[in-house]
Amino acid sequence: MPTIGFIYPDHAAEDEYPFAANLLGDGIRLPVAHIYGTDLHAVPELLDLGSEERLAEGARLLAGHEPDAVVWACTSGSFVYRWDGATDQAAKLAEAAGKPASSTSFAFVNAARALGVGRVAVAASYPADVAEYFVEFLGAGGVQVVAMGSEDIDTAAEVGRLPAHAVIELALSHDHPDAEAVLVPDTAMRTLGVLNEIETRLGKPVLSANQVTIWEGLRLAGAPVTTDTLGTLFRTGGA
C-alpha cells in the first residue's frame, strides 16, 4: 500500500490526514511534515511560505517515511505563484524529494477535470484579493469560476477553529445555480467529516482542500482508492 507524504504549513487542520488514513484503511500511510512561517493570508507571506527552501526542508523531513509521492498541502501557498510559478514550484519539490510531487492548487484542477466539472463556485476563507489568485489559477487550468465568495479570514489559525456548522454554512452560502461543483480551498479548514452532508444538501460535488490533496497524492502514486466517506471524488475514484 502507498505512503503519501504531505508538507503542511504550521498547524491548523493537519488531523484531517490521520482521519483520512483511518477511513481509507488498507495500510495507506499519510505522514505529515510541518514547515513554519507566518500563517497570514497575504501574498508576500504566502510567497515566502511556499519558497523552494521551505519545501525542500519539508521533503527532507518526509524522507524517512519513504513516500511514493509528495504533495505541498497548501492551496494559497501554491496558487499565489500563478500557474507557471506553481508548475516550477512542484517541479523543484519533485527534484528535492526524488518523487512525483504536486500541490493542492493543481489537485483542485486535476480533481475537477477528473469529475468532468468545468464551472464551479468557490467558497473561500481568504481575503478577496488572495482569493482572486485562486480564480485566476483555476481559469488557467480550464476551470471557470461562475461565483466566488470570500470570508476575509486573515490567518490559517482562525480558519482551523471554525466549527463544523460554520464550514457547512460557508459551502452552502457560496453555491451558484450555474456551478457544477463547489470548491472549498484552504487546508487549514476541517472539511472531511462534513463533505457528504454538504453534497447531500447541495445536490452536487464538493471539492475541499485536504480532500483533493490526499486524492492527488494517491493519483501520483498510481494508487487510487474509492470510499463512500469522502465525497463524490473518492466515491467515484475521480472517474
**Percentage of the chain exceeding pLDDT 70:** 98
Would you give the distance in Å from CA 234 to the centre of its chain?
Answer: 14
pLDDT exceeds cutoff 80 at 101: yes
My answer on whether 93 and 162 are in the same domain is: no
My answer on whether 128 and 189 are in the same domain is: yes
My answer on whether 72 and 185 are in the same domain is: no
The pLDDT value given to residue 135? 96
Among candidate residues 128, 123, 212, 204, the one with its CA nearest the CA of residue 171: 123
My answer on whether 103 and 20 are in the same domain is: yes
Tell me, yes or no, whether 112 lies in a domain.
no
Q: By residue range, what is the domain housing residue 194?
A: 117-208
My answer on whether 135 and 194 are in the same domain is: yes
Sign of the four-CA dihedral 16, 20, 52, 136 = negative
Segment 110-125, tens digit of pLDDT: 999 999 999 999 999 9
Q: Under a CB-based contact definition with an 8 Å cutoff, are residues 218 and 224 in contact?
A: yes
Segment 168-191, tens digit of pLDDT: 999 999 999 999 999 999 999 999
The pLDDT value given to residue 155? 75
Structural domains in the chain (count): 2
DSSP reduced 3-state for 168: helix
The confidence band for 40, taking pLDDT boundaries of 50, 70 and 90, is low
- Angle in degrees, CA 43, 93, 213, rounded to 5: 70
CATH number at residue 195: 3.40.50.12500
My answer on whether 90 and 15 are in the same domain is: yes
pLDDT exceeds cutoff 70 at 45: yes
Segment 188-202, tens digit of pLDDT: 999 999 999 999 999
Tell me, yes or no, whether 220 lies in a domain.
yes
Tell me, yes or no, whether 12 lies in a domain.
yes
- Residues 6+ positions from 58 with CB-CB distance below 8 Å: 7, 33, 34, 35, 70, 72
The pLDDT value given to residue 14? 95
C-alpha to C-alpha distance for 127 and 125, rounded to whole angstroms: 7
pLDDT exceeds cutoff 70 at 36: yes
Take residue 222 and report the three cell numbers written for it.
498510481
Tell me, yes or no, whether 124 lies in a domain.
yes
My answer on whether 125 and 219 are in the same domain is: no
The pLDDT value given to residue 64? 96
pLDDT exceeds cutoff 80 at 20: yes
My answer on whether 133 and 96 are in the same domain is: no
- Residues 6+ positions from 116 with CB-CB distance below 8 Å: none
My answer on whether 97 and 136 are in the same domain is: no
DSSP 138: H
My answer on whether 132 and 181 are in the same domain is: yes
My answer on whether 160 and 198 are in the same domain is: yes
pLDDT exceeds cutoff 70 at 238: no
